[in-house]
Amino acid sequence: MKPVAIFRHSPTEGPGYFAIFLEQQGIPWQLIAIDEDEAVPTNAHDYSGLCFMGGPMSVNDPLPWIEQSCALIRSAIAAGIPVIGHCLGGQLMSKALGGAITRNPVKEIGWGDAYAEGHAVGKQWLGDLAGKSGSVFQWHGETFSIPPGATRLFSNNHCANQMFALGPHLAMQCHIEMTPEMITTWNEDWAGETQGVSDQVSVQTPESMASELAMRLPQMRQLSDQLYSVWIGGLAR
């Protein structure tokens, strides 16, 4: 089986639980470290699927790898090779498919609830979780629009577009890949990230994130397992 390519855009925003899940399923993966100036591949057919992780930059920034990544995403989607994106990765998918990435009304940082759609596409991806709320982790200030032909799967009160699906492809604004270690590392930048917005109801303190970890993480793992299981069903074996 060809590996899943995992694109890392920042040293602290690795694949987390997504890689753990792939390994549990016996699926090989290959890290492509964009943050270490590794080149974006040009042939999507070298991989069984593509996964794009998060990052502190904007997809509207004039970085050469952004359009290269968008071109690869379009090529993979045209070939039926599954693509999945987390936060920045979801924004790359939206941009590649004709969507727009704009500033969200508020920053979202920390644990929160997202509300799953109960339509047919929602049931296909979410199973018994369709039509219910679920725990997710957030760390973003921008948001994507739902591109033509795609279907929204999740929303919440602070960010309407939390997730969309297009055939076997899944784009997320939220972070369902988080591990406790990743949360601890990201919180080292909490003060800088929340300057001027730390009092917003959409922003949690590191102490609040830690206190909710035991309750929230198992709930999010249930969501992660469901979504990742459906996504790997589209991989070429």
Residue 237 lies in a domain: no
What local confidence, expressed as pLDDT, does residue 237 receive?
77
Residue 214 backbone phi and psi in degrees, to 5: -60, -35
Q: Which residue has the tokens 């929340």?
A: 194
- In this structure, the strands spanning 169-172 and 83-86 are parallel
Rounded-to-integer distance, Cα 223 and Cα 227, Å? 6
Q: Give 81-90 pLDDT, tens digit per residue.
A: 999 999 999 9
What is the number of structural domains in the chain? 1
**In the numeric block, which tokens belong to residue 12?**
């602290």
N residues, the chain: 237
Query: What pLDDT is attached to residue 224?
Result: 98
Those residues of the chain that have pLDDT short of 70 are: none
Domain range holding 179?
Answer: 4-232
Question: Which tens digits make up the pLDDT trace of 177-200?
Answer: 999 999 999 999 999 999 999 889
Residue among 6, 84, 15, 5 nearest 44 (CA): 5
Which token pair is 173? 């604004």
Q: 96: domain CATH number?
A: 3.40.50.880
Provide the phi-psi class of 183: left if phi over 0, else alpha when psi is between -120 and 50, else beta: alpha
* Residue 181: inside a domain: yes
Check residue 174 and give its pLDDT.
98
**Are 178 and 139 a contacting pair, CB within 8 Å?**
no
Q: What is the pLDDT of residue 55?
A: 98
Classify residue 20: in a domain, yes or no: yes
Task: Give the pLDDT score at 67.
Answer: 98
pLDDT confidence of residue 221: 98
**pLDDT, position 187:** 98
The residue behind tokens 């990052």 is 55
Share of the chain above pLDDT 90, in %: 98
